Copies of this chain bind each other. A is one copy, B any other.
Amino acid sequence: MKAEILAVGTEILLGDIVNTNAQYISKRLADIGIYVYNQSVVGDNPNRLKKSYETAFERCNLVITTGGLGPTKDDITKEIAFDYFNKKSILNEKALKNIETYFKKTNKKMAESNKKQAFFPKDSLIIPNFNGTAPGCIIEEKNKILIMLPGPPKEMIPMFEESVIPFLKKFQDGILISKVLRLSGIGESSAAELIDDILSNQTNPTIAPYAKEGEVIFRITAKAKSEKEAEKLIEPMKKELIKRFGNNIYGEGETNLQTEVCKLLIEKNLTIATAESCTGGLLTSKLIEFPGVSKCLLEGIVTYSNTSKIKRLEVKKETLDKFGAVSAETACEMAKGIAKTSNSDIGISTTGIAGPDGHTKENPVGLVFLGLYINGTLKTKKLNLTGDRNKIRRRATIMALNWLRKEIMYI
């Protein structure tokens, strides 16, 4: 089966929005073994849209559209599709009811123009929409399958997951299972080098490495007759990667560094407090993304001035005068000070030069010190980061989280 994703909408062609739907759908189709051969975007123009359907079905047999299912006269995705397939559309009672229910739920009044959103060919499969006024549909005609979905992701995604994925799984040739390993503290090139032999020789399972900010992801995908068999294929490769990368692997599947850190803290019954300068609240904010973090996080202080460092964290004025705010010594006193004044097991600190100003000959932009007070011991780490102000702040935050993770793993 060859798939094409066709987004309909002039706002995409004007660069007003990014076509995230194409990525979402492509990824999910790959998950179930259906490969996308083309992605296209066309505007709200009847002739060009019709040509896009023709081009798409010349080269693919599954076409999924997003957008253009609204109530206005610019919304033509269905009308042109029905024309392409030479099908009449009629008022579909089930679709109409779906729309009426949505208006009732949101306490709004249905307009006359919304009625066109309930028109579909007699033999099409309606995809209900519980988050908007545009039901979608599936048309199967000879070898061609056309699936039409609305544009807004909060409508499209549930419809895709609840109706389209089950529908398409029928066409799946065997099972495709993916496992994701997540790494931090190693760059993509280095990681790829360490698995060069695996990458060169892979057949089934396959491994795809890719980089996101501050992490590298290995996606291991196996194709087999059943889920059990696919997992049996994945296990040895997963074991091999763990052997090669050790604790650079911080998690598996849908997770992130801050989640893993919080889980470790709670599991080991440890409390933590944060003292930030250049990261300015980012580190605390990341930890607080975790529901239940109140079990371990006592407080966080952004001591953005020297006065604040002295007053809140008992950093010594002499230390600031002698070594400066951006120093290993100050980072240590901040970490120890926050742990002491908040009565937490762990104190972690950041102090650095995010830029663009504030640097000197000895202290360039990107110089950041991390401090860690843990189990009565004080440690410090020196970073030399590149990028703009906010990139440096984000990278310092990620490295602080990863360092913390590695340190508390062994407690």
Q: What is the interface of chain A, defined by CB distance below 8 A to chain B? A: 11-20, 22-30, 35-43, 48, 51-52, 55, 59, 208, 210, 274, 276, 278-285, 287-289, 291-294, 297-305, 307-308, 312, 342, 355-357, 389-390, 393
CB distance from A188 to the nearest CB of B (A): 12
Complex Cα–Cα for A292 and B354 (A): 11
CB distance from A47 to the nearest CB of B (A): 10
Complex Cα–Cα for A215 and B41 (A): 26
How many copies are assembled? Answer: 2
Complex Cα–Cα for A344 and B142 (A): 72
Q: Check if B288 sits within 8 Å of A299, measured CB to CB.
A: no
Complex Cα–Cα for A99 and B248 (A): 33
* 6 pairs from A and B in contact (CB 8 Å cutoff): A12-B39, A13-B36, A15-B25, A38-B48, A280-B281, A294-B305
Which B residues touch A393, using CB under 8 A? Answer: 285, 288-289
Q: Check if B37 sits within 8 Å of A40, measured CB to CB.
A: no
Residue in B closest to A284 when the chains form the complex, CB atoms: B281
Residue in B closest to A14 when the chains form the complex, CB atoms: B30
Q: Check if A303 sits within 8 Å of B308, measured CB to CB.
A: no
Complex Cα–Cα for A357 and B304 (A): 32
Which B residues touch A28, using CB under 8 A? Answer: 15
Which B residues touch A390, using CB under 8 A? Answer: 289
| Most chain B Cβ neighbours within 10 Å, of A17, A23, A293, A393 | A23
